Amino acid sequence: MIPSFRPLAAVIALLGALLVALLPAVPASAATPTGWVRVAHLSPDTKQVDVTLSSLSGDTVLYKLSSVGYGAVSPYIHLPVGTYAIAMVPAGAPTGTTPVVKASVAVTTGRAVTVAVMGLNKDLQTHVYTDVLGTVPSGKARVRVLQASTKHPTVTVKATSTTVASSAGFASISPYQNVQAGTVPVTLTAGAMTRTMNVPLPAGSVHTLFVLDTASGGLAVSAILDSWASAVTPTGSIDTGAGGLAGPADLGTLAAALAALAAVGAVGAGAELVRRRPADL
Amino acid sequence: MTASRGSPRRRIVAALITAAVLADVGVAVGAAVSGMGGSGADDAAAARLSAPGPRPSVLGLTAGEVARGAAGGLQDPQTAPPAVRSSAVPTRVIIPAISVDAPLEILARDAKGVLQPPTEWADAGWYAKGPVPGDTGAAVIAGHLDTTKRAAVFVSLRQLRPGDRIDVRLSDHRTVHFTVTSARVVKKALFPTSDVYGATPDPELRLITCSEPFDEVHGVYADNLVVFASLAH
């Protein structure tokens, strides 16, 4: 017996086959895991330096910064997970110059670290600090203190009335604190010395307050942006679909969904879908 | 960085030139300059303007100290310019790999704090209390998978692969380029709020739509698809 030609079934079969051919079986996979590293020059009596970041396996320079002065912090460098070598030479020094500082740093998945070169020139130290990412409560800013003064052994730092670091010693880093966002008066206290500066800390921003020396032996603070979250965090998920393409729960593919749609006469939706999907994909 | 910031950068360059001039005449430099405060390669170039280059030995320093870059005393630090959000808003999202070129609505939360989707099926939407695309942080753009009858703007989002390009056009005529890094299908009940809205150290983008299975009882999809992207370099 010769089956009769049924246009609707043909359309269903054709569109179904098309969709199966066009739709990948798995959702997009993750690329190579990455993390972030940045470099800070926090030695008050060390002149500008040139910084290189290279792979530990081999001498390939991956990133270079020229003439990095005291207090400067590089942007975050986004890198595949792994261990990297960081070297600093005096600014403008010829290739092959023995580095003033050599350090290795591990970049781990989704983590951001700061490599800080600290202390007086005769006794340079390298410290690595890890940022905390994640959401920031609505209307708040997140702030922590890195005490890098070589002149003042302990420093207390308040943001408005919140004590962010209490008698912080050299090279110590405080936990992050949430403070009301806005222009925040930051007060540094070291012994009898007190200094207050207004620091803009916008909602959702995450900062490290670097406590630094000045040429005259005083204290300065530099608010360095670590990261930035949404100023207000939405609750839960988002409903971005009305089910026009959905298939029965036990048939998970769009092909099935389209077949179901076509069967109830909604072939237009399928045409729409196909039109929006170039054939070269 | 592809995004240029115009006048703030010019101010930094001007400040650095001033700093270089002051340094050359031996005047202590004020602490209002950052050579590298997060603005990328152009600032590194700007910082070079202030580089004194190799100098003759400073009086009183040993050869060893000079080799170690000793300054011979404390210096005033560079301090960072304040973190400022771009005042531009994104106006279009363009994803060549899946032929998306759509206008952006402004998205907000409802009274319960839930992000509201775009009102038009052919539009995508930008969550305006989150970062501006190209600024530090993860900007969020959502779009419908379908309506009750037809495919919508992000129907093909699941086809994106790591390396695919996403462009966002801004009201100040900039176009910011992102690269897809990964994608995840997540249960709406277990939405990864921290990964989507949490702090990031550099400019990123999240694209969100719905994903099967469809919950017939409640008339909603049970899952979201989240595409993660970072600023293209």
Q: At what angle do helices A267-275 and A254-263 cross, to 10 degrees?
A: 140
Q: Which residues of A touch B102 (CB under 8 A)?
A: none
Q: Do A243 and B148 touch (CB under 8 A)?
A: yes
Element (H or E) spanning B31, and its range?
A: none
| Domains of chain B and any CATH numbers | 7-67 (no CATH), 90-231 (2.40.260.10)
Inter-chain contacts counted by CB atoms under 8 A, chains A and B? 366
Q: Which residues of chain B have pLDDT under 70?
A: 1-59
Is any Cβ of chain B less than 8 angstroms from the Cβ of A221?
Answer: yes
According to the model, what pLDDT value does residue B16 have?
39
The residue among A113, A91, A120, A89 whose CA lies nearest residue A102 is A89
Q: Where are the domains of chain A?
A: 34-130, 134-228, 253-281
According to the model, what pLDDT value does residue B124 have?
98
CA distance B103 to chain A (A): 16
Q: Which of B34, B50, B156 lies closest to A67 in CB terms?
A: B50
* Separation of alpha carbons A99 and A86, rounded Å: 10
Residue in chain B lying closest to A97 (CA) = B67
Query: What is the sign of the dihedral through the CA atoms of A36, A76, A152 and A127?
Result: positive
According to the model, what pLDDT value does residue A9 have?
56
Of B48, B78, B207, which to mutate for an interface test with A (greatest number of A Cβ within 10 Å)? B78
CATH of domain A34-130: 2.60.40.10
According to the model, what pLDDT value does residue B11 have?
45
Q: Do A46 and B70 touch (CB under 8 A)?
A: yes
Q: Is B211 helix (H, G, I), strand (E, B) or coil?
A: strand
A134-228 fold: Immunoglobulin-like (2.60.40)
What strands, in cross-sheet order, belong to the sheet with A101-107?
A: A61-68, A49-55, A82-90, A101-107
What is the DSSP-derived secondary structure letter of residue A242?
Answer: -
According to the model, what pLDDT value does residue A246 have?
81
According to the model, what pLDDT value does residue A24 have?
41
Cβ atoms of B209 and B181 closer than 8 Å: no
Mean pLDDT per 10-residue segment, chain A (281 residues):
50 48 43 89 96 83 93 93 94 90 93 96 95 91 98 97 97 97 97 95 97 96 96 95 73 48 46 35 25
Cβ atoms of B95 and B160 closer than 8 Å: yes
According to the model, what pLDDT value does residue B7 have?
46
CA distance A214 to chain B (A): 5
Predicted ipTM beyond 0.90: no
For A:152-181, CB contacts with B below 8 A are none
* Separation of alpha carbons B144 and B124, rounded Å: 7
What are the tens digits of pLDDT across the range B180-219? 999 999 999 999 999 999 999 999 999 999 999 999 888 8
According to the model, what pLDDT value does residue A32 have?
79
